[in-house]
Structure formats: structure tokens, C-alpha cells
């Protein structure tokens, strides 16, 4: 983040990245010491959830759609926030970069509004090699000049409520049907349509 002049500070108990000059500048979390190879197994589904806010650096456009939400040409979320990992193998040249999750325009927030973002990802055997030299989680692909705030961040395994009871497979035909077992994440349920977004009319 700081390589191109970005600044990280705490504001209202949230991490805020300012003075961003490039799309790939964003929050980073070094997890090398946690050694994910000792905590997870290859190709295992991992849940990712965070709460983010995007603000124009000059304070304008609050309440208006972000570039991610407003772009007509971008159908695949290339101009939207991404979450991924960067892992360096034993040899310096062995870099593993993967995008674990991305926002799409139909779910994108407006400027100045906190937004819950969830997804799933996995690591392969090479990425989970316990001898890897470096492991990093990060969020990126937000327009330069936009401040990037993170209030909460969490990765976890799906809870037992996400899987049917092997002793009674027909007892609950919709695992995690109330979508509360994994916090923000409704795993294993997901939508296969891009035009059926639910909107909160009142709380």
C-alpha cells in the first residue's frame, strides 16, 4: 500500500487507506506467521467476510453509485473490489497469486456507505505448503483517488449447520436455511442469477 505513496490510518475504529494512486493499492494482511498450511487443507472451502466503505478522497459523490456499480461496459466485475492472496514459495520465483472473490456491479455499494461483502475461496496444495516463505491477504481494484475503509475482516470454515446431518439426510433439505450460521455468509446457498438482488426497504 505504501509503495506508491498510500497511507494507512485508523479512523472511527476502522482501517482507512488514503492517498491511493493505483487500483491495486488496498488493505493488506500479512499471515506468514499464522502459516495457513497448518490450518487449512487443499481445495477446502473457506468463507471470507468483511465490511468496507469507499469514499472519494475529496468527499464528493456520497450516496451515489461507485464506478463498480455504475459501469455499463464492465459485466464481469473487473472494475470492482477484489479479494485475493499472494503467496511466495520456497524459491523466490515461486509466486502464487489468486483472486478469491470479487464484487459484481449488481451487489456493489454507493460511495460513503458501509457494505457487507462475503464470498468463498480455497487454496491449492502449493499455496498451502508449510515451507512457503510469505503469505498475504489483500483487497484491491478500487479506483485511484478513492479512500478504502475496512471495519471488520474475517476468514473461517463453514459451520456444521452448512452440512446435512449424515444420520438424517432428509431431515433438513435446506442446510443453513436461515443464513445465520456463518455470520454474514449464507453458504452453502448461492444465487445463480444476477438480476434477483434483494433490497432493504425498511429496518
The 10s digit of each residue's pLDDT in 83-106 is: 999 998 876 667 888 888 888 888
d(CA 159, CA 161): 5
Q: Is the pLDDT of residue 7 over 80?
A: yes
Tens digits of per-residue pLDDT, 11-63? Answer: 989 999 999 998 888 899 999 999 998 889 999 999 999 999 999 998 899 99
Higher pLDDT, 129 or 5: 129
> Which residues pair with residue 155 across a beta bridge?
48
User: Within 13 Å of residue 146, how many CA atoms lie on the same side as its CB?
Assistant: 29
Give CA separation, 135 vs 57, 98, 108, 164, 199, in Å. 30, 12, 28, 33, 37
Which residue matches cell numbers 452448512?
Answer: 162
Amino acid at each position: 500500500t505504501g509503495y506508491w505513496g498510500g497511507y494507512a490510518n485508523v479512523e472511527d475504529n476502522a482501517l482507512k487507506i488514503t492517498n491511493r494512486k493505483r487500483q491495486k493499492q488496498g488493505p493488506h494482511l500479512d499471515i506468514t506467521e499464522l502459516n495457513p498450511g497448518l490450518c487449512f487443507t487443499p481445495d477446502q472451502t473457506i468463507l471470507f467476510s468483511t465490511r468496507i466503505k469507499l469514499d472519494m478522497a475529496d468527499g464528493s459523490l456520497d450516496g451515489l453509485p461507485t464506478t463498480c456499480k455504475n459501469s455499463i461496459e464492465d459485466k464481469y466485475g473487473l472494475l470492482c473490489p477484489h479479494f485475493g492472496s499472494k503467496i511466495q514459495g520456497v524459491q523466490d520465483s515461486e509466486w502464487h497469486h489468486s483472486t478469491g472473490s470479487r464484487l459484481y456491479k449488481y451487489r456493489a455499494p454507493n460511495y460513503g456507505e458501509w457494505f457487507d461483502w462475503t464470498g468463498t475461496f480455497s487454496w491449492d496444495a502449493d499455496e498451502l505448503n508449510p515451507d512457503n516463505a510469505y503469505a498475504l491477504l489483500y483487497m484491491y481494484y478500487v479506483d485511484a483517488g478513492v479512500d478504502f475503509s475496512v471495519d471488520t475482516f474475517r476468514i473461517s470454515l463453514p459451520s456444521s449447520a452448512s452440512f446435512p446431518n449424515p444420520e438424517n439426510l432428509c431431515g433438513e433439505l435446506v442446510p443453513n436455511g436461515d443464513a445465520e450460521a456463518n455470520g454474514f455468509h449464507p453458504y452453502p446457498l448461492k444465487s445463480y442469477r444476477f438480476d434477483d438482488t434483494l433490497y432493504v426497504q425498511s429496518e
